[in-house]
Amino acid sequence: MEAAEPGDKIMFILGAAKGKEDFYEKFGFKQRPNDFSGSGMSMWKTKE
């Protein structure tokens, strides 16, 4: 995130194992919407 400017949005993508998504949701990650994108998780953050 060092190259990002304040106010920039950054997407973090996590390759979570299928069936383990509940664990990562506790940290703000959301499940990807379909099997085409894989079983991973993603999260948007805005640099302050």
Strand partners, 44: 11
C-alpha pair distances (Å), 34 with each of 3, 5, 18, 46: 30, 31, 12, 24
Domain ranges of the chain: 9-46
**Cβ-proximal residues to 18 (8 Å cutoff; 6+ apart), any chain:** 39
Largest CA distance in the chain: 35
Are the beta carbons of 48 and 6 closer than 8 angstroms? yes
- pLDDT tens for each residue of the chain, 48 residues long: 578 889 999 988 887 777 888 888 999 998 876 666 666 788 889 998
Scanning the structure block, which residue is given the tokens 């640099």? 47
